[in-house]
Amino acid sequence: MNPDTPLQLLGGISAREFLRDYWQKKPLLIRQAIPDFQSPIDPDELAGLALEEEVESRLIIENGERPWELRRGPFAEDEFSKLPETEWTLLVQAVDQFVPEVGELLEHFRFLPSWRIDDVMISYAAPGGSVGPHFDNYDVFLLQGHGKRHWKIGQMCDTESPLLEHADLRILADFQGGEEWTLEPGDMLYLPPRLAHWGVAVDDCLTYSVGFRAPSAAEVLTHFTDFLSQFMSDEERYTDADAQPVSDPHQIQHDALDRLKALLAEHMGDERLLLTWFGQFMTEPRYPELVVGPELDDTELLDSLEQGAVLIRNPSARLAWSEVDDDLLLFASGQSRLLPGHLRELLKMICAADALHFDNLGQWLADDDGRNLLCELVKQGSLGFADE
Ligand SMILES: [Mn+2]
């Protein structure tokens, strides 16, 4: 993709301009980001998903049993019929994993790394429905799917920003409204992290939130050091073979800190392990129980493909790749695999994985490493056979 091509999705600016001027910096309203957008899912289908055990859903009722009542799914069918006429919202997470047409929307966002994308949450709101003024720690693109929603943006927030007292929701006690817009189907609003926003349904409305993910600094440190510690022996310790006589035995001298810093730097600076950890961490699936595959061997895989089977990425799987020296690393749903450099084009195909079949896999099926990799990914559940 040429980063300088003007994109309709971004209101006619290029990916390069968007990243330079807006990404993580300031909001952008895009009228008709997806012209004539027809929501691939309707409110009834969304409510249907919220009945399912494996789907994460929430209901927020502004004037429920208490203000901003939160209920968690899965819901029973009759729960929806008992709701008031107005001022409630149903939120369903990761709809992209359950409805392929919703997953396809993510194709529009290929100018950003796929491992930064979290999920497509869809919310349905009755007239007047909202989840209150709030801020998120993530970037989000809010695409209007059906009906109209009125958005107000406010101030930049942080952990000090006062919130209403609520056990589960982070609703701002103080919203300093700025610009506001009414979004219609196909319109989209980009919001950077920590910008206060408040969207209220004008009529029955569906809003798609394409959410991004970024690990917190605390997560990076705790998870990476946990990962590193698996490779360390108990014998490797703080050492001070260079110690000098001390004048006061109770004082911790700064040379001790220097030795600690050297020990930390040696391990934290291991780029290969950092990359391995990061790729594994960023491809961990949201729902690992949905990434499981069948027992299969090379021959069975080859037979299936010869008979016309098509492999696609499991919508619950996450894939990414990188390079180390002359080798390649494939990250698949929290696992990593070191692979020979000649598989580069296959890795790219697998990660894009719209459809892998006998014809486009061609030579790779004759390559032992390639065939073996495909087989392992099917067994792991990251790739699966498309339904006929
Ligand atoms: Mn939000």
Distance from Cα 345 to the centre of ligand 1, integer Å: 38
Let me know if domain 8-212 sits in CATH 3.40.47.10: no
Q: What percentage of the chain carries pLDDT values higher than 90?
A: 96
Q: What pLDDT shows up at residue 378? A: 97
Q: Do the Cβ atoms of 65 and 96 come closer than 8 Å?
A: no
Q: Do the Cβ atoms of 126 and 84 come closer than 8 Å?
A: yes
Q: What pLDDT shows up at residue 167? A: 80
- Nearest in space to 320 (alpha carbons), one of 348, 286, 292, 360: 348
The residue length of the chain stands at: 388
Tens digit of each residue's pLDDT (9 = 90 or more) over 263-321:
999 999 999 999 999 999 999 999 999 999 999 999 999 999 999 999 999 999 999 99
Predicted confidence band of residue 336 (pLDDT cuts 50, 70, 90): very high
Is the per-residue pLDDT at 1 higher than 90? Answer: no
Distance from Cα 178 to the centre of ligand 1, integer Å: 16
Q: Do the Cβ atoms of 291 and 374 come closer than 8 Å?
A: no
Tens digit of each residue's pLDDT (9 = 90 or more) over 80-92:
999 999 999 999 9
Distance from Cα 191 to the centre of ligand 1, integer Å: 9
- Nearest in space to 35 (alpha carbons), one of 172, 143, 197: 143
Distance from Cα 131 to the centre of ligand 1, integer Å: 8
Is the per-residue pLDDT at 335 higher than 60? Answer: yes
Distance from Cα 56 to the centre of ligand 1, integer Å: 16
* Mean pLDDT estimate for the chain: 95
The encoded tokens of residue 24 equal 């993580």
Residue 24 DSSP symbol: T
Distance from Cα 134 to the centre of ligand 1, integer Å: 6
Distance from Cα 195 to the centre of ligand 1, integer Å: 9
Is the per-residue pLDDT at 168 higher than 90? Answer: no
Distance from Cα 89 to the centre of ligand 1, integer Å: 13
Distance from Cα 66 to the centre of ligand 1, integer Å: 21
Is the per-residue pLDDT at 101 higher than 80? Answer: yes
Distance from Cα 80 to the centre of ligand 1, integer Å: 23
Q: What pLDDT shows up at residue 142? A: 98
Q: What is the mean pLDDT of residues 13-19?
A: 98
Distance from Cα 211 to the centre of ligand 1, integer Å: 9
Distance from Cα 372 to the centre of ligand 1, integer Å: 43
Distance from Cα 280 to the centre of ligand 1, integer Å: 27
Give the rounded distance of the alpha carbon of 257 from its chain centre.
Answer: 38
Q: List % helix, strand, coil for the chain (3-state, nearest 5).
A: 30, 25, 45
Cis before residue 74, ω within 30 degrees of 0? Answer: yes
pTM: 0.94
Q: What percentage of the chain carries pLDDT values higher than 70?
A: 99
Tens digit of each residue's pLDDT (9 = 90 or more) over 231-251:
999 999 999 999 999 999 999
A 10 A CB-CB count for 371 gives 19
Distance from Cα 139 to the centre of ligand 1, integer Å: 9
The encoded tokens of residue 42 equal 């309707």
Is the per-residue pLDDT at 28 higher than 90? Answer: yes
Which ranges in the chain are annotated with CATH 2.60.120.650?
Answer: 8-212
Q: What pLDDT shows up at residue 110? A: 94
Distance from Cα 136 to the centre of ligand 1, integer Å: 5
> In CATH, what class is 288-385?
alpha beta
Is the per-residue pLDDT at 352 higher than 60? Answer: yes
Count the alpha carbons within 13 Å of 358 in the hemisphere toward its beta carbon: 9
Residue 245 DSSP symbol: -
Distance from Cα 197 to the centre of ligand 1, integer Å: 7
Distance from Cα 312 to the centre of ligand 1, integer Å: 31
End-to-end Cα distance, the chain: 31
> Which residues surround the ion ligand 1 when the cut-off is CB under 5 Å?
136
Phi first, then psi: give them for residue 315, nearest 5 degrees: -60, -15
Tens digit of each residue's pLDDT (9 = 90 or more) over 184-223:
999 999 999 999 999 999 999 999 999 999 999 999 999 9
Is the per-residue pLDDT at 365 higher than 80? Answer: yes
Which ranges in the chain are annotated with CATH 3.40.366.30?
Answer: 288-385
Distance from Cα 81 to the centre of ligand 1, integer Å: 26
Q: What pLDDT shows up at residue 387? A: 80
Distance from Cα 224 to the centre of ligand 1, integer Å: 29
Distance from Cα 132 to the centre of ligand 1, integer Å: 9
Distance from Cα 382 to the centre of ligand 1, integer Å: 30
Is the per-residue pLDDT at 388 higher than 70? Answer: no
Q: Do the Cβ atoms of 70 and 106 come closer than 8 Å?
A: no
